[in-house]
Structure 1
């Protein structure tokens, strides 16, 4: 490949390291089925490759337009959507959540014991909308399986990995009114169903259902034709299978694309993890973020609002390592802060990961990932379908491979 011209300051020869690494270390060894990787820099797609299989059982090769369960990569979309309403003056970030969810006014904080004999206390202050954006609300996820509050969530089916979630968004809000918080809002960071609550606030404030709002205000303006809460019939042949790591590292089918929950419109519209998308569609969202909130002539969010959202909002400028409870694989904790819906790189030397200060990102439970690096004018989208995302460190490895290809 000697003599091939660099594209947008990236070496095509060095970019082939991505394909080689994923193929040799993961696909050929049967650790993952397949991947789609997209790199976009200085207004150009510098790398776009589909590798392996989208459905091992049916011997279907991965395609560039394959569809994926993006799980928590839904969160930044929901966060942007609610901040559109913020720009219209519909709420303040300091507003108590009970202004919009009155039944949450009496929420209490877990102290000890088990239901129904548990001890709870009053929170030091009411939960604010800001706390939901930053995951400092005191809410949690059932699947983390770390505390007695997590166990109560599991009993109610809240924030679990059920293939077919039961009930509606309203049902979840009603159930959460009866459960204690993990801690007083604003005091700690804990990954949680907070962004699902943001989705509920979008419905309450806009008067539209979450799917209709996202379609009108984000997907249609950005030309995201492959993104939604379920897969229409004419797109179902592009839907990837989802796998889990089985014994000895082999793949176990977790969700069959031809029998999936996602083939029909769900009752529960999850702003925290419910969307299906393609790499190209998600890149449209990323282009908008890179371009100060604008894409294809549509201003989705204001420039200053986006800068505000991608600034570290943790108390006293601290990182996740100083304030988070437990750990979670969507982000490193040391040297990484959190904004309004995104992780934010504060100190790459502390996180020991090559990137730029100010890079913002998130990922999904099935090992998908994206990041935006404003300093390098670059966006990366990585799609695969392997639960959980902690199985392999794709994000760290992709950063080595992709930043290693920047030559100008």
Structure 2
């Protein structure tokens, strides 16, 4: 399959419309096929206040697009025989040894029953019983009360993980799917097993080999005003999805260069802490497309990447009774290790290929890898929450409309 240039250029008009309608401050999109750049476009501003352009050098918060990077780190350790995915997390983090789970009829956080410790696999696939503060339910409310969001300025990763382990699980591990801080816990496992901070492990084993020189938990020194501002259409907290209230201003400033916690991160969140540029993250996406290798650098074996990009759930996400927020549709979508997998584009109601592997971030960033058409795609903007507009499904439709024989 090849791209029709006229149809591909429709993406420019679509992106500009989002900017003109003040839905996004600015955005960029990079599409590669067979390892070659097929399309790039940027428009709008990375800072409305500073009148600075959103371009290829713009640094953004990728939030949950950190998750597949952390998953890659864990699988690199698995390939070294240092662990297996069915191991309970308590083997590495003893604070998870004596777990409790909320009873099915629980009305308060203390109505619990004994539970097993979640496995590494359950943490990776969001079936562990952990949650997020912005989900509905008893456990999320308790997490919200303690602000367990793994923010860059919330102390150390080890301390946040211990605080999470002290709470009961929302359900018995393996019984449901719920978007969670499970991959933050996986990040702590990587630290314990490797003997390095997550930041150092990423730099040594992933970013260095892939040439991702501007990706990390803190904005690189000397980046200055290349760090994009973050905006929200909500009146209150841009992450408070349980009480989200739309405001009159569609692009209200939330965070900006000069006073952002991302400029000097202390907590290394494997679930949502990275900052990157579009070309840097495209190198990671290309590594997945090429089944573990970019250039002469191999991070993972091909069979390991195939394993990560398979569906690891009994059916689609919707069949596992989720109540949580998610970055993707749930019907017709499975979940692999660190990202979603298309099982049926029709049921997902978005054009795509069976087997597409993807994930996004809370600031409306998104990427996917399509092995069938040998392509990778990365979209960057900075608007939270990502559920504000249907840009991801619209973008996939535009790309697939441009694919011809």
Scaled by the length of structure 1, the TM-score of the pair is 0.93
2:386 to 368, 389, 406: 389
Q: 1:269 maps to what in 2?
A: 268
Q: 2:243 maps to what in 1?
A: none
Q: 2:242 maps to what in 1?
A: none
CA contact (8 A) 1:329 1:389 kept: no
Q: 2:208 maps to what in 1?
A: 220
Q: Superposition RMSD on alpha carbons, in Å?
A: 1.3
Displacement of 1:64 in angstroms is: 1.4
Displacement of 1:92 in angstroms is: 1.1
Question: Is residue 2:328 matched to residue 1:356?
Answer: no
CA contact (8 A) 1:282 1:381 kept: yes
CA contact (8 A) 1:142 1:152 kept: yes
DSSP 3-state at the match of 1:390: helix
Provide the rounded CA distance (Å) in 2 between the counterparts of 1:257 and 1:138.
Answer: 36
CA contact (8 A) 1:236 1:263 kept: no
Provide the rounded CA distance (Å) in 2 between the counterparts of 1:51 and 1:368.
Answer: 15
CA contact (8 A) 2:214 2:220 kept: no
CA contact (8 A) 2:364 2:383 kept: yes
CA contact (8 A) 2:227 2:256 kept: no
The one-character-per-residue Cα deviations of 1:336-363 (angstroms, maximum 9, x if unpaired) are 0001111000011111110000000000
Provide the rounded CA distance (Å) in 2 between the counterparts of 1:42 and 1:259.
Answer: 40
Displacement of 1:232 in angstroms is: 2.5
The one-character-per-residue Cα deviations of 1:308-332 (angstroms, maximum 9, x if unpaired) are 11110102xx000110421424111
CA contact (8 A) 1:240 1:385 kept: yes
Question: Is residue 2:108 matched to residue 1:114?
Answer: yes
Displacement of 1:227 in angstroms is: 0.3
CA contact (8 A) 1:135 1:192 kept: yes
Provide the rounded CA distance (Å) in 2 between the counterparts of 1:29 and 1:103.
Answer: 49
Q: How does 1:3-402 map to 2 (within 5 A)?
A: 9-24=2-17, 26-111=18-103, 112-115=106-109, 118-123=110-115, 125-144=116-135, 146-159=136-149, 165-246=153-234, 247-248=247-248, 250-264=250-264, 266-315=265-314, 318-402=315-399
CA contact (8 A) 2:76 2:299 kept: yes
Provide the rounded CA distance (Å) in 2 between the counterparts of 1:326 and 1:290.
Answer: 31
Provide the rounded CA distance (Å) in 2 between the counterparts of 1:257 and 1:126.
Answer: 40
CA contact (8 A) 2:123 2:185 kept: yes
Q: Which runs of 4+ in 1 moved over 4 A?
A: none
Moved more, 64-73 or 102-111: 102-111
CA contact (8 A) 2:134 2:325 kept: no
CA contact (8 A) 2:369 2:376 kept: yes
Scaled by the length of structure 2, the TM-score of the pair is 0.94
Extract unaligned runs of 5+ from structure 2.
235-246
The one-character-per-residue Cα deviations of 1:167-226 (angstroms, maximum 9, x if unpaired) are 211111221222000001111110000000110000000001100000010001000011
CA contact (8 A) 1:143 1:159 kept: no
The one-character-per-residue Cα deviations of 1:115-136 (angstroms, maximum 9, x if unpaired) are 5xx211012x431111011110
State the aligned residue count: 391
Cα 1:20–1:292 shift into 2, 3 Å: same
Provide the rounded CA distance (Å) in 2 between the counterparts of 1:279 and 1:167.
Answer: 28
Moved more, 390-399 or 94-103: 94-103
Question: Is residue 2:402 matched to residue 1:405?
Answer: yes
Q: 1:3 maps to what in 2?
A: none
